[in-house]
């Protein structure tokens, strides 16, 4: 008799991905300016640490809130006792107002349609439980966040079918790619329940165009499917084009009577404060849906991963301070733009380029195809291992993001100091320079050896030449 469940003993969590393996190697040998200056620099973690001083300044000025007080009196007991899993009304109102502010108040959100979850991970999984059964599928454009293999599939049993996007059009979604993914699902006897996208994209760091969003809505309308738009990076857009939420497209089309009401009920948003406010440890995520059945079911499921009342109370006051949120969003975007420029400039000095449409997020989609020994994913893994172990940088290989083209990497820039980023760029530049030098040296050796062999062929007896050429060939292989 088995003592453990199949789930406990299976290997479908995705933890063996190079995305997670890089983290494990970093944890064994983390860089520290003083204690471990030759350690691995973490550039595989999409964390926003650029604006903590703004958050800390607000806390210092609002000590009653930070101390869980109201009008100078402690409300600790009130917050510590049992709370309804629907969430604090004051926080839900503050959160939907903040979401509207990020979108330039072009759309509004009803707090009765929001479900609080313990981060975006929980939100995405909860939507899978609500929208699909085990063995059914969602379509995801590549490259996509490696954690989706865990978040969407592991406990739900839902399958992922990739929408193959390529660098030829900056990885934008096309109608032909959507149809091809649908055909692939049919060939695998999978019923497709919807499409999930991240906008802004993780790992591309790009925003979706209105054309792409309209294409997706037309697709799910025609195929009678759901659309999930994971918009947790919506407040990180630091340059044009501006962020366009799927809710804006829905509003435009509904106002023009282009959509039936039931289409809007099949569009759902995932949001979190982990990226825009840099608070992943607070575990604050949310589902927004116009589908009452989905909201009711997700609310019941949220009891398995609640946001603490203390966190809700604190953030309802912070997000309710409109002067603070306006200044924070503006200043944070300026800092992200400056830091992204630092990374791009540092990469350029190493003759490495990035996706030129990068305008959002906490990372760049970096093109290292020129550093590959061959156009294969094996060569990509070899390069990744060199950068991880020899250079001491943990970056995420494109294959871990299911990219169809070898040689792309996601490189994060907002989770470290400027000095650490400069050091990382210096390490990478030195690595590329040394690699090019080794290639040149190897080419010169091969050229000299070939010339010597030809000379011996002209001057020497054939058998003797044969033995010498064989020896030279072995020496070249050993080099």
| Token output for 100 | 């509207």
User: Looking at 114, 217, 220, 232, which residue is catalytic?
Assistant: 232
Mark whether 230 is an active-site residue. Answer: yes
The phi and psi torsions of 196 (rounded to 5 degrees) equal -120, 130
**Selected catalytic residue, list 153, 193, 275, 429:** 275
Determine whether 385 is an active site residue: no
Tokens of 8: 């406990």
Q: What letter does residue 306 receive in the DSSP assignment?
A: P
| Local structure of 43: helix, strand or coil | coil
Token pair for 55: 């958050």
Q: What are phi and psi of 411, to 5 degrees?
A: -125, 120
Spatial separation of the C-alpha atoms in residues 390 and 165, rounded to whole Å: 32
Element (H, E) at 290: none
The 8 Å CB, 24+ separation contacts for 80-83 are 80/309, 80/310, 83/306, 83/309
Strand order in the sheet with 396-397: 353-354, 363-367, 408-412, 396-397
Is 222 among the residues known to form the active site?
Answer: no
Separation CA 244–CA 229 (nearest Å): 11
Catalytic choice (26, 145, 313, 328): 145
Per annotation, catalytic residue among 149, 151, 230, 276: 230
Residues 452 and 476: beta-carbon distance below 8 Å: no
List phi, psi (to 5°) of 159. Answer: -100, 155
Task: Mark whether 275 is an active-site residue.
Answer: yes
Active-site residues, by number, are: 145, 230, 232, 275
């Amino acid at each position: 008799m088995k003592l453990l469940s199949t789930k406990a003993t299976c290997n479908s969590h995705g933890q063996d991905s190079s995305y997670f393996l890089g983290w494990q190697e970093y944890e064994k040998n983390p860089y520290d300016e003083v204690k471990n200056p030759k350690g691995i620099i973490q550039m595989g973690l999409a964390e926003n640490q650029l604006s903590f001083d703004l958050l800390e300044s607000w806390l210092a000025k609002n000590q009653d809130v930070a101390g869980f007080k109201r009008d100078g009196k402690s409300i600790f007991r009130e917050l510590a006792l049992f709370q309804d899993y629907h969430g604090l009304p004051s926080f839900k109102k503050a959160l939907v107002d903040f979401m509207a502010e990020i979108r330039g108040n072009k759309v509004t959100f009803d707090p009765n349609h929001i479900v609080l979850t313990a981060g975006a991970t929980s939100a995405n999984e909860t939507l899978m439980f609500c929208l699909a059964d085990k063995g059914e599928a969602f379509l995801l454009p590549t490259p996509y966040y490696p954690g989706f293999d865990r978040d969407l599939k592991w406990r739900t049993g839902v399958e992922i079918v990739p929408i193959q996007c390529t660098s030829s059009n900056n990885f934008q979604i096309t109608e032909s790619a959507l149809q091809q993914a649908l055909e692939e699902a049919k060939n695998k006897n999978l019923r497709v329940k919807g499409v999930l996208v991240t906008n802004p994209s993780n790992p591309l760091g790009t925003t979706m165009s209105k054309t792409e969003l309209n294409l997706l809505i037309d697709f799910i309308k025609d195929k009678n499917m759901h659309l999930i738009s994971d918009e947790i990076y919506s407040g990180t857009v630091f340059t044009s084009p501006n962020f366009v939420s799927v809710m804006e497209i829905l509003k435009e089309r509904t106002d023009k009577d282009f959509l039936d009401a039931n289409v809007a009920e099949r569009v759902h948003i995932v949001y979190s404060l982990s990226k825009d406010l840099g608070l992943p440890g607070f575990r604050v995520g949310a589902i927004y849906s116009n589908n009452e059945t989905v909201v009711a079911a997700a609310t019941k499921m949220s009891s398995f991963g609640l946001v603490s009342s203390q966190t809700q109370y604190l953030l309802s006051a912070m997000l309710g301070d409109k002067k603070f949120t306006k200044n924070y969003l503006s200043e944070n975007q300026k800092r992200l733009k400056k830091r992204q420029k630092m990374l791009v400039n540092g990469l350029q000095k190493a003759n490495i380029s990035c996706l030129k449409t990068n305008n959002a997020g906490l990372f760049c989609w970096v093109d290292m195809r020129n550093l590959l020994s061959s156009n294969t994913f094996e060569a990509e893994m070899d390069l990744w291992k060199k950068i991880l172990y020899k250079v001491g940088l943990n970056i995420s290989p494109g294959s871990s993001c299911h990219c169809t083209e070898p040689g792309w990497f996601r490189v994060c820039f907002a989770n470290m100091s400027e000095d650490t980023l400069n050091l990382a760029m210096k390490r990478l530049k030195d690595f590329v320079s040394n690699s090019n030098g080794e290639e040149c040296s190897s080419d010169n050796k091969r050229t000299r050896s070939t010339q010597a062999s030809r000379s011996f062929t002209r001057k020497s007896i054939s058998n003797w030449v044969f033995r010498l050429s064989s020896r030279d060939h072995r020496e070249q292989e050993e080099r």
